[in-house]
Structures are given as structure tokens and as C-alpha cells.
Amino acid sequence: MKDIYKATEEVIEGNLDYTITYGKQDEIGRFIHGFDLMRDHLKKSIEHQQQYERARKQLIASISHDLRTPLASIKGYVEGLEDGIAKTEDMQKKYLRVIRSKTDQLDRLIEDLFEFSKFELEQLSIDKALVNSQDFFMDVYQNAKLDHQNEGIDLDLAGQPPSVSLMIDSGRIKQVMANLIDNAVKYEGKKIVLNVEKKGGQLLVSIRDNGLGIKEEDRPFIFNAFFRGEKSRSRESGGTGLGLAIVKYIIEAHGGEISVKSEPEKGSEFIFTLPLYVNQRDGLH
Ligand code: ADP
């Protein structure tokens, strides 16, 4: 009993490593076992909380940095224009182009953060409806082709997508596709191939590029929020490290999975699955 009392005091004082040794399997033994389980649970949950706090602090530091960098650059170019440093019309246009691209970068950053905070608050809505996979992916492909038509990118569809029913949030899956294709372009893919096929009870969607690729040691982390490979390079390209975290969340909210295969300097392939819609009444896909 004295030992139990001592253990309780230790826990109250914050020592969550104090264990009681008691050999017998009687009533008191069971009680001590329960006490120990509680102590362990408390310890884990405090550790979890501390980890979360650390991540939060890191997050705030990285957000401030990422907002400040393009802002500082915009300020510099605006001052340059005001002071008449950009003398020729060509130079003024160049300054304005930089300002434009930096404001776009800020816009993307804020949009990503907004989406991310919604998903952290579990408020990222997913409104599913029935769609035909062929119509949907043809539409996505054609839009992506338009979006990237002036960038010297060769975007292809490996074959006609299969025609099956999907129960998805079209807007969100479009967002996933746009994000994966934009990444393929951003990380220097010049040839991008989309492939959609039916496998088992699932639809398999792949986006393959011949860009920079992802180092093996980075691969396990790329779906984590705020992770960016090759920090400086990714920063310059205006990334937040949130895109893939949001993509993963959306795919999982649809009952699918996402994975990546990649070889540095050769390219990457992102593959995700979506369950086929099964009509409960007659089992038709
Ligand atoms: P970011 O905003 O940095 O692009 P993401 O969450 O979209 O954030 O991606 C996380 C990291 O994964 C990127 O910083 C980059 O290093 C790597 N990555 C993602 N897609 C690709 C790709 N297609 N090719 C090479 N690297 C990629």
C-alpha cells in the first residue's frame, strides 16, 4: 500500500516512469497492473502532446519565413520601380512580372494553408457523387493539357481510361490531379504520362514524370505536412510542403491509397487507388 501511495505521488509530480513491483496475481496485483496501464497511457499521451506542440512551433516558424520571403522580394521590386531603377520599359515589365509571380506564390501559399487548416480542423468537406471514370479523367486530362500548353511540356494519356462508376468528390479529385501534375512540372518533368486502369475492385491512377526524382531518404516523408525535399530548391519554387499531405488526406477520405515510386534524376510516379462504386442492389460496377 505504501508503494502504491508513493507511485501515486510520483505520478502527481510528473514522474511517469515510476513502476511498482509486485509479484502476486491477486486482487492487488490486478489493481497494480491497472495502475501501470494508466501511467503508461498518460505518459504516451503527454509525449504525443509534446510532439504536437513541437510540430506546431515549427509550423509557425516555417509559415512566417515562407510568407516573408516573397513579400520582401515584392517590396524590393516595388521600391525599384518607385526609385526609377527600372529605366527602360522592358525592365519595368520584367519587374512587374517578378512582382506578379511572387504574388501568385503568396496566393498559392495562403490557399494551401487555408486548405490545410480546414483539414486539421476536420472541416475539409468531401461531397461525393456518382461519376463515370472515363468522362471524368478525359476532362481532367484535357484541362491539364490546356493549363500547361505553353510550358513546353509533353503531357500524354497512356490509353483510354476504363468506363466505370465512381463515387467521388469530383472537385477534390480534380484538385489531387492538378496537384500531382503541377508537382511533376515543378520538379522539372518534361514528359508526363497519365494512366488510368481497372485492377481488382479498384481504379488505379498514375502520374509519371521524367523530372528530378525523389531521394530514397526523402521518400517516406513527402506525404507529411510541411516536408520539402532539397529545401532551398523547393522554397524557390514556392512550395509549402502541404500539397501532398492534402492529396493523401483526400485520397484516404475516398477509401483509396497513395504511394510513390521514384529514381533520382530519372523521375517519379505517383499512384493512387479509388474504390469502384458497387451498386448495393445488383452488385454492378
Ligand atoms: P511542395 O509545396 O514542396 O511541392 P508537396 O507536399 O507537394 O510540397 O511535395 C513535398 C516534396 O516532395 C517536395 O518538396 C518535393 O521535394 C517532393 N516532390 C513532390 N512531387 C515530386 C515530383 N513529381 N518529383 C520530384 N519531387 C517531388
Using one digit for the tens of pLDDT, what is the confidence trace for 201-225? 899 999 999 999 999 999 999 998 8
185 in ligand 1 pocket by Cβ < 6 Å? no
**Residue 20: is its pLDDT beyond 60?**
yes
Confidence of residue 232 (pLDDT cuts 50, 70, 90): very low
Per the model's pLDDT, the better-predicted residue between 55 and 275 turns out to be: 275
Residue 105, pLDDT score: 84
Mean pLDDT computed over 180-196:
95
Ligand 1 pocket test: which of 112, 148, 177, 183 has the largest number of ligand atoms within 8 Å of its C-beta? 183
Atom of ligand 1 nearest to the CA of 213: 25
Report the nearest-CA residue for atom 4 of ligand 1.
239
What is the pTM (predicted TM-score) of this model?
Answer: 0.72
Please give the full DSSP string across the chain, using - where no structure is assigned: -HHHHHHHHHHHTT-TT--------SHHHHHHHHHHHHHHHHHHHHHHHHHHHHHHHHHHHHHHHHHHHHHHHHHHHHHHHHTT---SHHHHHHHHHHHHHHHHHHHHHHHHHHHHHHHHTT------EEEEHHHHHHHHHHHHHHHTTTTT-EEEESSPPP--EEEE-HHHHHHHHHHHHHHHHHTT-SEEEEEEEEETTEEEEEEEE-SS---TTTGGGTTSTT--STHHHHHHTT--S-HHHHHHHHHHHTT--EEEEEETTTEEEEEEEEEPP--TTT---
Residue 285, pLDDT score: 54
Q: Give the E-state strand segments of 100-231 in sequence order.
A: 129-132, 154-157, 165-168, 191-199, 202-209
Mean pLDDT computed over 10-32:
90
Share of the chain above pLDDT 90, in %: 61
**Residue 199: is its pLDDT beyond 70?**
yes
Beta-bridge partner residues of 199? 202
267 in ligand 1 pocket by Cβ < 6 Å? no
Place of cell 527602360: 88
Beta-bridge partner residues of 272? 205, 258
Mean pLDDT computed over 137-144:
96
Report the nearest-CA residue for atom 12 of ligand 1.
222
Ligand 1 pocket test: which of 69, 110, 115, 214 has the largest number of ligand atoms within 8 Å of its C-beta? 214
d(CA 18, CA 14): 10
Residue 280, pLDDT score: 65
